[in-house]
Chains A and B, each alone.
Chain A
Amino acid sequence: MLGYVLRRLLLLIPILFGLSLIVFLFVRALPGGPGIALLGERATAQDLQEIEENLGLDEPLPVQYGRYLKNLATGDLGTSVSTRRPVSEELSRRFPATFELAIAAMIFAIGLGIPLGYIAAKRYQGVLDNASLVMSLIGVSIPVFFLALLLKYVFAVKLGWLPSIGRINILIDLDHPTNFYVLDSILTANWEGLTDSLKHLILPAIALGTIPLAIIARITRAATLDVLSEDYVRTARAKGLDPSIIGRRHVLKNAMLPVVTVIGLQTGLLLTGAILTETVFAWPGLGTLILNAIRFRDYAVLQGGILFFAVLFVLMNLLVDISYAFLNPRIRYR
């Protein structure tokens, strides 16, 4: 097991190198050359000369790449053209917003998806089962930005139950020790801030969580159906065990393996879904940061953002694989 984890960690190294190489080449392939790309079109000749020296653009590519890696290792991702702040600072300031949204979306998806899939399997081919199948099919066919707009229309515009943009009412005074607003409100005992930030979280979380919800429900249903036909379930029934205990201990526990894998994979994909959800709800996270970077040709932020997202994605997948190995000792890893 430990060997497996170590091997996976070692495999991470070439992937991270490859990623950095892609992002490095990406900036150099941008229209107008990296100097203009990183500084913007209104850069002065002096600025240009400075960055060209800094990046060593007259030197051979391998040397430039080496320098780029050195900068990366010290956490230097360059400076944003539009805000003049270091890219690393922008990323760390925005990350909690996206992460908070992703967690809320996952709580929604798991909390609803597993019971739904389980009940659907128990009532196989019943009304509820078919309804959940149809729902999950629609769930995977609906673009996340359209769903986000629909939710906004119904619950914010028409019914007025929930706020439609931002993370918190700007009139609420909330300190931000962590930039996770829900956590911040709890830490500073600001209950008004807590209810308001939770209210702001609901619609984006549902929009972002619906696709994972559909997929988790489908997988849970399939896995539960598989386990329900196992001999040990029949044996447990035959010896007169309480059906609720069979459900919990025999069925659900064994059905969880594929579900956990899917949950992990979905968590990684949530990061991209967040880009679209954040746009609709004007959520100040990494997604809006990246989109603004595209809009204002802020390539320093764009390359940093892509690298950051990709590394996060890779780490998340690694975590899934490792947790899967822990959960499923039946699988032997070479």
Chain B
Amino acid sequence: MSITEAEAAQLAFERPSGLWRDAFERFVRNPAALVGVVLVLVFVLAAIFAPAVAPYEPREQVGVLARNPAGPGDGHIMGLDEQGRDQFSRIVFGLRLSLLVGVVSVLVGLSFGLVFGALAGYLGGRIDFALMRLMDLMLSIPGFLLAIGIVTLLGPGLFQIMFAVGLVQVPTFARLLRGSILGQKEGDYVLAARSVGVPGRRLLLVHILPNSIAPVIVQATLAMATAIIEVAALSFVGLGPQDPGLPELGKMLADNANRLQQSAHLVFFPGLAIVISTLGINLIGDGLREAIDPKLRT
């Protein structure tokens, strides 16, 4: 075997290391991100297998009615609520709702945001201008207030608040993707693709988008945590689901805020559930950001 041949053989063994592979390796070496993965795994598994994890039905009365129910004990690790329902079961089902809420809101925000951002960034000109001024206008109203306004129009309810929270995130995604596309559009590979006659739509979908999407993924992760908190907050101020039995975490907090003195466990555990789920998501989001763009490492 000649030296060239040996080198060639060695080269063949070296795996090509692309952006995603590097990013993955940086991600798994980040302890904070791994803690996030564990937290989110617990959260997601509990949410998906809620009926198996929860010892009781969330609406089932298993204990006595009490104005100020006693705390954990007697087989109920998080105590009972005022309706005599097992709080642990309600929280597990509440996490299920939170997961749904986070995913749906972000999907709403992403789908509108991606379409707007891609159109604005790729087409440019008047469409870009009009879309971006609309986004500026939306950003000029504080997000939570905009969500309150939208829910007032749609009426209170779980789906309404998910939609509202998602809509509020549209400008962030649109601007992010637009900026990212604008950066990619000037790339040599786009020029190359265009010069061999790749049609416009294919150019955008196959060449530009996959290269512009990384910051959007990071943002989407972080937005999920925000969405969970915002939905809980809207629910906390009374705009959430009107069904009194629905185990929504923000609503549970609101319903029991005045029982702080005697039954603090009814406030403590639902709040803790929100914190743990959003903390996990935030840790993953930060980890992803560092992994995809190590320059941003702080």
- A interacts with B: yes
Interchain CB contact under 8 A, B260 and A294: no
Interface residue? A140 (CB, 8 A): yes
Interchain CB contact under 8 A, A138 and B137: no
CB of A158 to closest CB in B, whole Å: 9
In the complex, what residues of A have CB within 8 A of residue B298's CB?
A: 218, 221-222, 225
Interchain CB contact under 8 A, A26 and B257: no
* B254-298 to A contact mask, C-beta < 8 Å, 1/0: 000100110010011001001100110011001000000000001
Interchain CB contact under 8 A, A145 and B253: yes
Interchain CB contact under 8 A, B233 and A276: yes
Known contacts A30-B153, A309-B145, A141 near B264 by CB under 8 Å: no
Interchain CB contact under 8 A, A310 and B233: no
Interface residue? B197 (CB, 8 A): no
In the complex, what residues of A have CB within 8 A of residue B132's CB?
A: none
A31 to B152, CA, bound (A): 9
Interchain CB contact under 8 A, A313 and B141: yes
A171 to B152, CA, bound (A): 38
Interchain CB contact under 8 A, A26 and B233: no
Interface residue? B239 (CB, 8 A): yes
**Which of A225, A276, A317 interacts with B237 by CB under 8 Å?**
A276
Interchain CB contact under 8 A, A18 and B137: yes
Interchain CB contact under 8 A, A19 and B229: no
A26 to B250, CA, bound (A): 26
Interchain CB contact under 8 A, A153 and B264: yes
In the complex, what residues of A have CB within 8 A of residue B238's CB?
A: 291, 294-295
Interface residue? B225 (CB, 8 A): yes
In the complex, what residues of B have CB within 8 A of residue A221's CB?
A: 298
In the complex, what residues of B have CB within 8 A of residue A294's CB?
A: 148, 152, 237-239
Name the residue of chain A whose CB is nearest to the CB of B279: A141
Name the residue of chain A whose CB is nearest to the CB of B136: A15
Interface residue? A187 (CB, 8 A): no
Interchain CB contact under 8 A, B155 and A19: no
**Which of B137, B140, B274 interacts with A313 by CB under 8 Å?**
B140
Of B133, B238, B298, most A-chain CB atoms within 10 Å: B298
Interface residue? A202 (CB, 8 A): no
Interface residue? A43 (CB, 8 A): no
Interchain CB contact under 8 A, B271 and A146: yes
In the complex, what residues of A have CB within 8 A of residue B229's CB?
A: 143
Interchain CB contact under 8 A, B274 and A143: yes
A136 to B199, CA, bound (A): 48
Known contacts A26-B149, A143-B275, A218-B298, A310 near B236 by CB under 8 Å: no
Pair count A-B, CB < 8 A: 120
Interface residue? A280 (CB, 8 A): yes
Name the residue of chain B whose CB is nearest to the CB of A31: B155
Interface residue? A1 (CB, 8 A): no
Interchain CB contact under 8 A, B260 and A149: yes
CB of A267 to closest CB in B, whole Å: 11
Interchain CB contact under 8 A, A19 and B253: no
Interface residue? B18 (CB, 8 A): no
Name the residue of chain B whose CB is nearest to the CB of A270: B142
In the complex, what residues of A have CB within 8 A of residue B145's CB?
A: 272, 275, 290, 306, 309-310
Interface residues on B, range: 35 or more
Interface residues on A, range: 35 or more
Known contacts A153-B264, A306-B149, A146 near B275 by CB under 8 Å: yes
Interchain CB contact under 8 A, A143 and B232: yes
Interface residue? B159 (CB, 8 A): no
A221 to B229, CA, bound (A): 26
CB of B278 to closest CB in A, whole Å: 4
A157 to B264, CA, bound (A): 10
Interchain CB contact under 8 A, B153 and A141: no
A275 to B144, CA, bound (A): 9
Interchain CB contact under 8 A, A30 and B140: no
* A136-154 to B contact mask, C-beta < 8 Å, 1/0: 0110111111100110110
CB of B34 to closest CB in A, whole Å: 14
Interface residue? A271 (CB, 8 A): yes
In the complex, what residues of B have CB within 8 A of residue A291's CB?
A: 237-238
Q: Which of B125-168 contact A (CB under 8 A)?
A: 133, 136-137, 140-145, 148-149, 152-153, 155
In the complex, what residues of B have CB within 8 A of residue A275's CB?
A: 144-145, 237
CB of A224 to closest CB in B, whole Å: 10
A275 to B253, CA, bound (A): 16
Interchain CB contact under 8 A, B141 and A22: yes
Interchain CB contact under 8 A, B225 and A141: yes
A276 to B274, CA, bound (A): 16
A271 to B250, CA, bound (A): 20
In the complex, what residues of B have CB within 8 A of residue A295's CB?
A: 238
Interchain CB contact under 8 A, A309 and B142: yes
Interchain CB contact under 8 A, A30 and B152: yes
Interchain CB contact under 8 A, B142 and A137: no
Q: Which of A126-173 contact B (CB under 8 A)?
A: 137-138, 140-146, 149-150, 152-153, 157
Of B142, B149, B239, B279, most A-chain CB atoms within 10 Å: B142
Name the residue of chain A whose CB is nearest to the CB of B150: A26
**Which of B143, B236, B268, B282 interacts with A141 by CB under 8 Å?**
B282
Known contacts A221-B298, A306-B145, A22 near B278 by CB under 8 Å: no
Question: Could you name 30 residue pairs across A and B whose Cβ atoms are closer than 8 Å?
Answer: A15-B136, A18-B133, A18-B137, A18-B140, A22-B141, A137-B282, A137-B283, A146-B267, A146-B271, A149-B257, A149-B260, A150-B268, A153-B260, A153-B264, A157-B261, A221-B298, A268-B142, A272-B142, A272-B145, A275-B145, A279-B236, A279-B237, A290-B145, A291-B237, A294-B237, A306-B141, A306-B149, A310-B142, A313-B140, A313-B142
Instruction: Please give me the 7 A-B residue pairs with the lowest Cβ-Cβ distance, nearest first.
Output: A146-B271, A222-B298, A141-B279, A272-B144, A272-B142, A18-B137, A141-B278
